Every structure is written in structure tokens, then in C-alpha cells.
Amino acid sequence: MALIATYAGKKRTVQLGIALALAAWVCLDAMGSGGEGWARVWARLPILLTGNASGWPLSGGFALNVFLSLCAMAVAALLGTVLGFGMLAKNRLLRVPCFFVMNFLRNSPWLVLLFAMLYIIPFNVRLFGVSIAIPAFVKAVIGLALPTAANFAEIIRGAVQSVHSGQWEAARALGYMPMSIYGRIILPQALRRMIPGWMNLYALLMIATSLATVTGIQDVITTLNTLLAMENERVIVYFYITALFLFFAFCYPLALLARRMEQSVKGDSL
């Protein structure tokens, strides 16, 4: 086997080199001038990751971001499915409002929507005479789920419409009922195309959970800001780099996987 043969091989070698160089730089820095900084980060890492100095139980930090993204994705999947099939409906009265809602949610900034939900949703709801307090976490879930749901719906619509119209006609000619055309013909094909889109969307949502700090929950950014208040200026950069790396380490593999699946789906465009 040739050591460096193709362009892709060469590129991979360089990438490996860059990764090694960065790791080496961090190590050198840690041994030299930045040692103190990295030591501070290391000491605070459990709090950043779990919101708890001892690392257990999980009460906040990056773990809360992950949990928040999972909850928001679940809510968004529900809402988005309803909205997506609403947009595919034959009935205009159903389709047009769904398009309007989808466009509104997609055109509004995540942060503003989050803020709006924070203030529009009341602090307490009275349900059957019982007053239930709505925690900030629930508001963050709803605020993040709304724009995600709109994107989710758009992915469903795009994938269903990308199925060739011949499939519809063939199914109809074979006497399938409308519901079973969806269930047996269209969705199995469309689902394959939706999954990479959903994965990208989830990565986007994970990145957006950093905004949830405005609701005051103890997520990684809130924790970071609390920690930084106690650190001296030189050390703060290391904390920011660590926080950036946490998100990168979570989202980059997802993005890679999504891209690989996209490539494998690309072929079957009938």
C-alpha cells in the first residue's frame, strides 16, 4: 500500500496532522504558560459537564443541554408531524394555515421565540382549581421545540414530495386506499430521505440549546458564566475553548453521520 496515494488520502493525512498539532499545542501550553489555566478548567470540568462538583447526580451543565435537546426534539417531532402532514393535505383550509404557521416559525429567530415563550407562557396555570407552576425548563423546551417543529415539518414535506409521482399513480392503479398508499408506498421511501435531515436538525437544535441560558436554567452557558465570575481574565479563554469543544465534540460526529447517510440515500431517487 502506498503511503500517500490519492487526494483524499493526502487530505486525511493533513487533517490528522492538524489534529495532532493542535493536541500537541494544547499539551505544550499546558506544560508551559497555560498550565494554570488548564488546571482550573480541569478542576471545573465536572461542574461544566454535569452541573455538580462531584459529577453526580446530573443537575445541569452540558448534560442539561443534552436532555433539553432530547425533550425539545420529542415535542418538535410530534408538532412537526402534525404540521407536515397538514401542509400535505388536499384541503386548502387545512393546508394554508399550516403553511402560514410553518413560515412564521421558520422566519423568526430562535432567541426571540425563546424570549417570547418565556414571557407569554404564564408562570402559573390554574387547572381544575389546582395551581401548577411552569418551570423555566418547560418554557425552554417549548421555545426551542417551536422552530424545530417548523423545520421538522418542512423536512417531512420535502421528502414526501420528492417521492416520484409515478409511485402515487402506480399505487392508485393497483387499488391502494389513500391511507395505505402513504403507509405502504410513500412513507417507507420518504422516511429514508427524512432521517439525515432530522439528524442535521437535531445537531442544529443541540447548538441552539445554548440560547436556553436566557431562561435562567443551569445549562452549560449559565454554569460557565457563573464559573467565570470567579476566575481571572487570563484563564477565561481556556474555559471558552473548552465549552466550544464540548459542543463541537457532540455535534460534529452527528453531522458526519448525517452526511454519510445522505450520500447513501442519494442513489435511490425514484
197 touches 158 (CB < 8 A): yes
Question: Which of 23, 89, 112, 134 lies at the binding interface for other proteins (CB under 8 A)?
Answer: 112
CA distance 191 to 188: 5
Q: Backbone phi, then psi, for 53, in 5-degree steps?
A: -60, -30
Which residue, 78 or 120, has its beta carbon nearer to other proteins? 120
CA distance 247 to 205: 11
Span 113-152, contacts to other proteins by CB under 8 A = 113, 115-116, 118-120
Q: Is 99 in the site for other proteins (CB under 8 A)?
A: no
Closest approach of other proteins to the CB of residue 241, in Å: 8
CA distance 141 to 232: 34
Span 15-44, contacts to other proteins by CB under 8 A = 15, 18
Span 189-208, contacts to other proteins by CB under 8 A = 203, 207-208
Question: Angle at Cα 224 formed by Cα 27 and Cα 236, nearest 5°?
Answer: 50
CA distance 107 to 156: 18
Report the Cα 264 to chain-centroid distance in Å.
22
Closest approach of other proteins to the CB of residue 88, in Å: 21
Q: Is 236 in the site for other proteins (CB under 8 A)?
A: yes
Question: Which residues are near other proteins by CB under 8 A?
Answer: 7, 10-11, 13-15, 18, 103-104, 107-113, 115-116, 118-120, 203, 207-208, 210-211, 213, 221, 233-234, 236-237, 240-241, 243-244, 247-248, 251-252, 255
